[in-house]
Amino acid sequence: MAETGDTAKPKPQLVLDDRARHLLARFMSDWVWPRWRSLIGVLIATGLLAAATAVYPKILEYSFNALHGGDFTQLRWVLAAIVIATAVRSALLYVQTVSTNRVIMRITTDMQKVAFRHLITADFARLTRETPGRMVSRLTNDIVFVQHAAQAALNTAIRDSLIIAGLAAYMIYTDWLMSLVVLGVYPLAVLPIATIGKRLRRVAKRTQTELGDMTSLLTEKLSGVRLIKAFRLEDYAASRMNTSFEQLYGLRIRAVKSRARLDPILEALGGIAVAGVVALAAWRMSDGQSSIGEFMGFIGALLFAAQPVRGIGSLSTKVQEGLAAIERIYEIIDEKPAIVDRSGAQPLKAQTGSILFDSVSFSYGADDSEALSGVAIDVAGGTTVALVGRSGAGKSTLINLVPRLFDVTGGRITIDGQDIRDVTLDSLRDAISVVSQDVTLFDDTIRANIALGRLGASEEDIIAAARAAAAHDFIIAQPNGYDSLIGDRGMRLSGGQRQRLALARAILKNAPILLLDEATSALDTESEQLVQAALARFTKGRTTLVIAHRLSTVQSAHRICVMEDGQIIESGTHAELVAAGGAYARLSRTQFLAGGARDAAQ
């Protein structure tokens, strides 16, 4: 009857193609086998649980024989055996459930850690290609599918198979002929289960993709709630979300319908098997070849096996859904970043912090036109160079090349004579601080957000950085001072306060090179004055590249470079460029005019 249990099992490997088998083998090698010690404990608990379950039909057999024969002395022992067997099985079920889920959750948690690590260390270009919502979905929704598949594998493929094997052994021992009836019925389920499993994998992958799209859209709408409220776009936002919800609903219903076909198939086959067993038992009992106790024990074993058989019947579908999720997670893990340390890369030896852009060109892709073309700028150490020009001129692209968020496609960039592609990424980025208009703050305390500039910084250094950024006074005015929580993206603070925290973080880092990307363009007059004063102190003697649209920021720079269509078209001091009457002079009369008038008034 061990063969009966194996045959009754729909053999999920039959429904896996070569790619799926390779994926499953890789998953086992990467995540399951390294935890073999824990799995041994699970197997022991599962084996004992299966053995305890297999005892039930024998107790049932003794019970009916005792009742039929009127032997109430034996019945007392049978009742005691029922209580003991139930207590033992309950304890084993608890141990098996906890140990199994501990292993599964350890696996899925480690998968999340590895996937997030790969994702956060991926190229900046890759991270900007996919919305945060879709990436979040891979680390949450897809992991849930993997967890369900792993639970099905351990609880079904192992526990239920062992239970079926134990019950099958009892049935063969009790009546091998009746066991053959079961043996002939359940294999009929293999083909429909295989077909349903293949269909479910396709639906599962589409569902997981749609979950990512829905999560992305939901994140987008909730983060844009200010615009939605201001422009009365609630109906528009709800309509977009409703469309996504309905698409997901349709896919889930398709999966439910596919899964729902399994239980009726197994139920019908189970009914045929029971009917055959009853008919055969009636014939054998009429000839005195079997007792009522043996018959009831056999039927009991068959009924006890019904739920495990159903579980094995649905195993293939859950594995297919899990494999679809594993495939998407491996897409993250297998992606190799292009921007990495070269072989033999040495730490950057920053001295004066001079930066040389030597005929720098850059294109975002093979099919894209050049965003930068032949840019040549020599930034002396300790000086400030301002980049000005209309939107799309290439200013932010040029700044992003310095910390190697992207790599140049032509020319080179050097810092103190060292090509930045020949130094380690860690040392390069340690030498650079960035402050931009789009301030990045986390839902944590003010202290923690400033300390990101230098992890492990002392309280005194954090406060000193806040004072230097003109942030200390507003910080201590907060309800909990430096321990105040600032909310998602710092939304509990004003724009000027957020900008000063970002500057405090850069000051704490104390890097020799500072990149400012329109750091004051969105500030009110008072906030800009405070930030500008702090910047003037911080940039003194520090190499600074600044993108700005305000005259007050630009005119104090040691040198101004005017960019247009990815090229430098003018270069010089404020006075020189105004006197030349070229592009900068035109910009200063238009784009900078409001700022200049205000600065003059101040």
DSSP string computed for 107-123: HHHHHHHHHHHHHHTS-
> Which comes out higher in pLDDT, residue 306 or 480?
480
Segment holding 157, helix H or strand E:
none
**Mean of the per-residue pLDDT values of the chain:** 78
Give dist(CA 599, CA 602) in Å, integer. Answer: 5
Looking from the CA of 472 toward its CB, the CA atoms found within 13 Å total 12
Higher-confidence position of 328 and 18: 328
The pLDDT confidence band at residue 18, using thresholds 50, 70 and 90, is confident
d(CA 237, CA 218): 9
d(CA 371, CA 547): 16
SS3 391: coil
Helix, strand, coil distribution of the chain in percent, nearest 5: 70, 10, 20
Instruction: Identify which of 21-30, 408-417, 481-490 has the greatest average pLDDT.
Output: 408-417
Tell me the per-residue pLDDT of 324-370, one tens digit each, with 9 for 90 and over.
Answer: 888 889 988 998 888 999 998 999 998 899 999 999 999 987 666 78
The CATH number of the structural domain formed by 348-431+513-602 is 3.40.50.300
Q: For residue 372, what pLDDT is reported?
A: 92
CA distance 517 to 6: 66
Q: Tell me the pLDDT tens digit for each residue of 126-159.
A: 887 777 777 888 888 888 889 888 888 877 777 7
Separation between Cα atoms, residue 156 and residue 313, nearest integer Å: 9
Q: Which of 1.20.1560.10, 3.30.1300.10, 3.60.15.10, 3.40.50.300 is the CATH number of 2-334?
A: 1.20.1560.10
What is the model's pLDDT at position 151?
A: 83
Euclidean distance between CA atoms 361 and 591, whole angstroms? 27
Of residues 83 and 409, more confidence is placed in 409
What average pLDDT does the segment 420-439 reach? 90
Q: Convert the pLDDT of each residue in 57-98 to its tens digit.
A: 777 666 666 665 555 566 677 777 778 888 888 888 889 888
Separation CA 541–CA 511 (nearest Å): 12
Using 50, 70 and 90 to split pLDDT, how confident is the model at 241? confident
Backbone angles phi, psi at 370, to 5 degrees: -70, 130
Please state the rounded mean pLDDT for residues 467-490: 87
> Is residue 227 within a helix (H) or strand (E), and if so which, with residue range?
helix 225-230
pLDDT interval class at 599 (50, 70, 90): very low
pLDDT over 80 at 466, yes or no: yes
As a three-state string, the secondary structure of 342-377 is CCCCECCCCCCCCEEEEEEEECCCCCCCCCEEEEEE
Can you give the pLDDT at residue 460? 93
The domain limits of the chain are: 2-334, 348-431+513-602, 436-510
Q: How far is CA 449 from CA 120, 432, 478, 485, in A?
A: 19, 18, 15, 10
Domains 2-334 and 436-510 share a fold: no
Selected residue with higher pLDDT from 279 and 531: 531
Domain 436-510 sits in CATH at 3.40.50.300
Percent of the chain with pLDDT over 90: 22
Write out pLDDT tens, residues 293-310: 565 666 666 666 666 766
User: Is pLDDT of 593 > 50?
Assistant: no
